[in-house]
Amino acid sequence: MNWPNRVLMVTPEYFDVEYAINPHMRDAQGNLNTIDKEAAQKQWQDLKNTFEKLGKEVVTLQGQAGLPDMVFCANQTFPYLKEGKMHWVLSQMHSPERQPEVAFFKEWATKNDIPTYDGMPTHFEGMGDALWNYETRQIFAGYGFRTSPEVYATIEEQTGQKVTTFELKDERFYHLDTCLSILKGDCAAFVEEAFTPEGLATLKQSFSTLIPIPLSEATEQLACNMCTPNGKDVILQKGASKTVQSLQAQGFNVIEVETSEFIKSGGSVFCMKMLLWD
């Protein structure tokens, strides 16, 4: 399986924090976070530019009024290859506030000749919880907060690939993409506190190199919500100095970006994009 060569992003004009469906969306006083819309637009544009500088074509889907979290476009679909052509499994979002987002992705897929499957039996939140190892063709998948474990039999059936599952135990890491980042075939970054003992044992069996992310950087900078689009370059929220050092020690080229406005809603680099094949 090749690394995807395109990136889908959803435009951020309607991004905001209008409700709280994860612990990151409220401030220390319990109030909903306030978004600086101008800063958010700049941060989104800078991330788009970063993917383009790395040689990836960025395609965009228009954000929609009343759907402030649609910008986190890792969640609504799960892309896979079938007979050399990209297909999408459509998500069944856990939160009622986000459920209408999926229809816009289905419409976009239809316009772009992408076959879709929308028969998930219960809650599933796309690549928020189901992660590809693009080099080994394995799928690593989380459940417990947003996605139900029952869905992964369907994912195996649709993709023809094995799914390795992890129970998530800390609500701060409500999606697998907040506590596990697959960097290349034999290397991943992880947040130890997010996994059960059984999950940690599975990770150690699955990867020859595991990079631990400090809990403070995983919560404050969402450091594990990093993205590598090619197995060499890693993009993450700036300021996670220990994580940066650990990545560089493994030979990765680290690119720090600013996603602080999006972190106020519980997402960073990985959440803000979907990698696509042609």
Give the residue numbers annotated as catalytic, written as ranges. Answer: 175, 271
Strand order of the sheet with strand 209-212?
180-184, 187-190, 209-212
Chain-centroid distance, C-alpha 146: 13
122 neighbors 129 (Cβ within 8 angstroms): no
37 neighbors 264 (Cβ within 8 angstroms): no
Q: Alpha helix (H) ranges present in the chain? A: 37-53, 101-111, 151-159, 197-206, 215-220, 241-249, 260-263
Burial of 29 (0-12, 13-18, 19+ CB in 10 A): exposed
Return the exposure string of 193-230: e unless at least 16 CB atoms fall within 10 Å of the residue's CB, then b: bbbeeebeebbeebbeebbebbbebbbebbbbbbbbbb
